[in-house]
Chains A and B, each alone.
Chain A
Amino acid sequence: MRAVEPWVEGPLAAFLDESAARLTLLMTSAGQVLAQHGFTRAFDVMSAAALGAGIMASTDELARLMDAPPFRALAHQGVQHGLFLSGFDTPQGRWIGLVVFGPESSLGLVQLFFQRLVADLAKQAPTEAPSNRVLASDFEDELNASLRTLFGQ
């Protein structure tokens, strides 16, 4: 498990321990990766983050068309694995969690402990806003720096 911000590690470790999630990704709503667990390649992290953020953006748009509030979460169930995606607000802005789990866990367990993760992150988050906002032109540098931190390179 790796996280760009150290204060994320404790809550995320607790979530992973209880939920037995196989893969976990925390990212901003723009797809910037903040923490990951279980991925072995940087390319997979980037792809999953982009796809996850895209799915959430699509469902948000669907909700808007339905004149409904944004969907809090969505889940897919495959033969061997399940996928859970949820957006949530933090003092640092809107984040998205992407969780992949196997038969040793369940959607109910992932949802249960994800709620705790969100609450724990809210408690641990620094109250001051991030000192530098990421500009579009800095985004790639920021992404690469995050990936280096996440993979310890």
Chain B
Amino acid sequence: MRSVGAMSDSIRAMTAQLVSDPASMIFLPLGEALRQRGQLDAAEKVALAGLGRYSESADAHDLYARILGDRGQLELAFDEWDIALRLEPDHVGAHKGIGFLYFVAGELDRALAHLETAARKLPDDDGAQTALARVKEALARRAAAGNGAGRETETAVLTEEQAVVPGADPSRLFLGLEGAEDGLLLLDTRGLRLGGGLTSPEGDDVADAVSAHLAGVSQEASRTARLLGLGAWISLAAESPDGHLFVVAPTPETLLLLVREQSVPLGRLAVVADHAAGVARAWLEGLQ
């Protein structure tokens, strides 16, 4: 793994090259380096500038899609990878990316098709091979359970995408709280799960798929409140015949989802969510 200093030097050198030659394709590795450092605003500027010049470059669309994915804008990421595949049907990065999105959405068959293509093109890529193996395992379990119509999912296969927090045990995050193992979910604003769990009424693990969607929901809630002149959003609640959902933001970088059966009133959910948010904040502070 490269040292931080070496990566900074490399980014500086690539930036200098791009400034001296704006038409250079160096924007691709530069954008990726910035993305890996978490500098998503800068990465996005570089990617969009490159796309402006090379709108028919599948690699450029792939880079932008990865940045959108990191931002939790999964639908837009899907669109970009879709464009990449239309430009270059065998584009490995796009197959991996779309495969991941289908997996998160529980569409295992479609995930398999894309990840098989990626793994075939890159036999030495551990990420693609591992992802493919996990999807095949999930499909085999579904077939063994005889649940052909089920949408069985499990934790996301592409572990390099997980926000794994060193030194913390995410499974103990809500220990002791009502619904600690199912119905309490902590995620970051990019849509990546930090802790907790959620299953569907049929018992399928839907935590990662829901986390991915919630990032977009919170952005939409924030935008709605802001543009309607209502200030910052505080909470978002939804009643459904199968249960109630309640979303709050324990910190500016995280979201908490609480799901309870319909018999629990929304007012009570607000109190429980407030308490769980406090637990989440304490856990996050313990990681600092």
Interface residues of A (CB under 8 A from B): 1-2, 13, 18, 20, 22, 39-41, 102, 104, 151-152
Contact = CB atoms under 8 A, between A and B. Distances in A.
Contact of A1 (B48, B75, B83): B48
Interface stretch (B51-59, B139-147, B183-191, B260-268): B51-59
B52 A22 contact: no
B236 interface: no
Secondary structure type dominating chain A contacts: loop
The 6 lowest CB-CB distance pairs between A and B, nearest first, are A152-B53, A2-B52, A104-B75, A40-B55, A40-B56, A1-B52
Nearest to A16: B48
11 contacts: A1-B48, A1-B52, A2-B52, A18-B223, A39-B55, A40-B55, A40-B83, A41-B56, A102-B79, A104-B76, A152-B54
A152 B52 contact: yes
B79 A22 contact: yes
Given A1-B48, A40-B87, A151 B76 contact: no
B225 interface: no
Contacts of B56: 40-41
A102 B80 CA distance: 13
A136 B32 CA distance: 45
A39 B55 CA distance: 8
B175 interface: no
B23 interface: yes
Contacts of B23: 152
A142 B286 CA distance: 62
Interface in B32-84: 48, 52-56, 75-76, 79, 83
Contacts of B52: 1-2, 152
A151 B223 CA distance: 32
A39 B56 CA distance: 9
Nearest to B48: A1
B213 to A, nearest CB: 12
A20 B76 contact: yes
A13 B54 CA distance: 17
Contacts of A151: 53, 55
Contacts of A20: 75-76
A151 B53 CA distance: 6
A151 B75 CA distance: 26
Nearest to A37: B52
Contacts of B83: 40
Nearest to B76: A20
A13 to B, nearest CB: 8
A20 B53 CA distance: 20
